[in-house]
Amino acid sequence: MITKQDLAKIIDHTLVKPYATKNEVIQVCEEAKKYGFGAVCVNPFYVKLAANTLKGTDIKVCSTVGFPFGSNSLETKALEAKKAIEDGAKELDMVMNIGALKSKDYEFVKQDIEAVVGIARKFNVIVKVIIECCYLTNEEKIRACLIAKEAKADYIKSSTGFGPSGAKVNDIKLIKRVVGESMGIKAAGGIRTVSQALKMIKAGATRIGTSAGVQIIEGLK
């Protein structure tokens, strides 16, 4: 059975709602310190605040990139990634260009991911690619995973949490079958209970993205 400490370490404690306040970001960071979460995930505006609040800890700051639609230009995503890193981000959760994938413009999808990965690599920063499973067929999910792998991203992430549905066990299992041990897998979107988190881990998730980290840890017996 997984311990509270082990589970906390793979949770990205998340606050990416558009109306989040500075005090709420600070609160999330303090919760991360108390419970030992692996990372705090915030939108770019709050990266510097989170980094300052978490200074002196081993908790990483994760910034969103191209969030939540993924339809920014390649150049915009690259610039956003660079600024987030300068502000203190050690991990980036970038949204794949979903429309480009569904248009079968696979080369652009790869270039889009590579633009962010190329910058991240210079600073030893982790890149997670959000493929937003709810909009994709299984064939498209497989293609997205293979492109992200080829572009040398570190993780596949299932969802932004802003689509019509979030993480699903079957999607995590599919991603696991495609990438195996070569990439990490982050399940995110609608995970609010211990039971849900454990099911995702059993399916192959190596990270859990959730705004309910405290609830999940306190619910683990």
d(CA 115, CA 16): 23
Please give the torsion angle defined by the CA atoms of residues 207, 208, 211 and 215, in that order, rounded to the nearest 10 degrees: -120
- Tell me, what amino acid is at 170? N
d(CA 91, CA 117): 11
92, β-bridge pairs: 63, 127
Residue 16, CB half-sphere, CA atoms under 13 Å: how many? 26
Measured between alpha carbons, how far is 187 from 170 in angstroms, rounded to an integer? 11
Look at residue 19 and give its three-state secondary structure. Answer: coil
Hey, which residues are catalytic here?
Answer: 93, 157, 186
